[in-house]
Structure 1
Amino acid sequence: MQIKQHRLTGVKWLESKFYNQRPKAEISLLVIHCISLPEGCFGLPHIDELFCGKLDCNAEPSFNDLQGLEVSAHLMINRSGEVTQYVDFDKRAWHAGVSSFEGREGCNDYSIGIELEGTDHSEYTKQQYQSLIKVSQLLLRRYPKLTKQRIVAHSDIAPGRKTDPGEYFDWSAYLEAL
């Protein structure tokens, strides 16, 4: 796996339509998220469908609130460690929402968003950590403004609104492995 033209090689590619051009801002933040659809259910196609604008919001009662939602991430890492990319890294994915880091608003402008298939209240798999570490190392090498100190949880940039990746994410082991 490597980064060529702002895209990972050797991973699944599904293009999201929920992105746009970044303003003149260098990539300088990595945001870790988690997602499952329905919550706590893994291995289903619904995350891909959501990020690609193809989710049938009538397929499951918990999807009703997702009607009209336009959201994406650059990457998602499933429970087995498989990586899917939806948006090129030099484009602005719509993952952070209303957000701020070190007093700077609009984190989507200058960040890369990685979703882990999971919940705030469940442990992540060894395979997910392995893939996340490998991808993070590639990103840190490719984008010089990214540093270990600029890797954050979604909850860090949207406190009170978001709680992911949650209490079971092992920050110390992850950051130490980088």
Structure 2
Amino acid sequence: MQLDLASGWCQGISHCPSPNFNQRPLGEVSLLVIHNISLPPGQFGTGKVQAFFQNALDANEHPYFAGISGLTVSAHFLIERNGAVTQFVSCNDRAWHAGLSRFAGRENCNDFSLGIELEGTDELPFTETQYASLIALVAQLRRGYPAITPERICGHSDIAPGRKTDPGPAFDWGRLRTALEQ
């Protein structure tokens, strides 16, 4: 994969544009937020995350969907269990992934962050291929956005404590941090 800074889109991965984005107020990208998601919860490879980020989730298809189908959310990237990476929003734009959030005294983390969703749950270990794709993607993003230092890579739980728990205790932060040092 290769990040094109002019467009904010990575080449060599799937693109599934979401309508859920807007312009960054300052154009700044200085934070990376890692999340997890699965739809329905605990089920993988359903294609429902993609539908959710495109406002195309059928509320009648699963009881859980009725409560979220009206939400308009997105992330910049999704890494599926098999390691496939999909981009939904240009890195130059503000995806709607963080919600009510705060990092280093700054509110509204969507304004200055990129969001990566890992297909998974708080409790289940992520796959080897997910970590490989995540490490490659983070390296590519850090080359393009040098303000994303290792200290500015966090979980959703770090910027929305008490409200969010992802990526959860099953995420291996040590593995990611070690890979960033190499």
After TM superposition, the score normalised by the length of structure 1 is 0.99
CA displacement, residues 79-113 of structure 1 (integer Å, 9 cap, x when unaligned): 00000000000100000000000110000000000
Alpha-carbon RMSD across the aligned residues, in angstroms, is 0.6
Aligned to 1:42: 44
Residue number in structure 2 paired with 1:2: 2
Residue 45 of structure 1 aligns to which amino acid in structure 2? Answer: G
What pairs up with 1:29-108 in 2 under 5 angstroms?
29-108=31-110
Instruction: Please list every run of 5 or more consecutive structure 1 residues that lacks an aligned counterpart in the other structure.
Output: none
Q: Is the 8 A contact 1:119 1:166 kept in 2?
A: yes
The letter of the residue matching 1:149 is: E
Question: Cα offset for 1:67?
Answer: 2.7
The equivalent of 2:173 in structure 1 is 171
**1:110 aligned residue:** 112
Tell me by how many angstroms 1:25 deviates. Answer: 4.1
- Asked if 2 retains the 8 angstrom alpha-carbon contact of 1:96 and 1:154, the reply is yes
Identify unmatched segments of 5+ residues in structure 2: none
Q: 1:123 aligns with which of 99, 122, 125?
A: 125
Identity %: 53
3-state SS of 1:136 partner: helix
CA distance in structure 2 between the aligned counterparts of 1:144 and 1:173, rounded to whole angstroms: 21
TM-score scaled by length of structure 2: 0.96
User: Are 2:158 and 1:156 aligned?
Assistant: yes
Could you tell me how far apart the structure 2 residues matched to 1:111 and 1:82 are?
A: 22
CA–CA separation in structure 1 for the residues paired with 2:132 and 2:50: 21
CA distance in 2, matches of 1:38, 1:169: 20
Cα offset for 1:26?
Answer: 1.2
Preserved contact between residue 120 and residue 163 of structure 1 (Cα < 8 Å): yes
- Separation in structure 2 between the aligned mates of residue 41 and residue 132 of structure 1, nearest angstrom: 20
The Cα shift of 1:54 comes to 0.6
Amino acid of the structure 2 residue aligned with 1:175: R
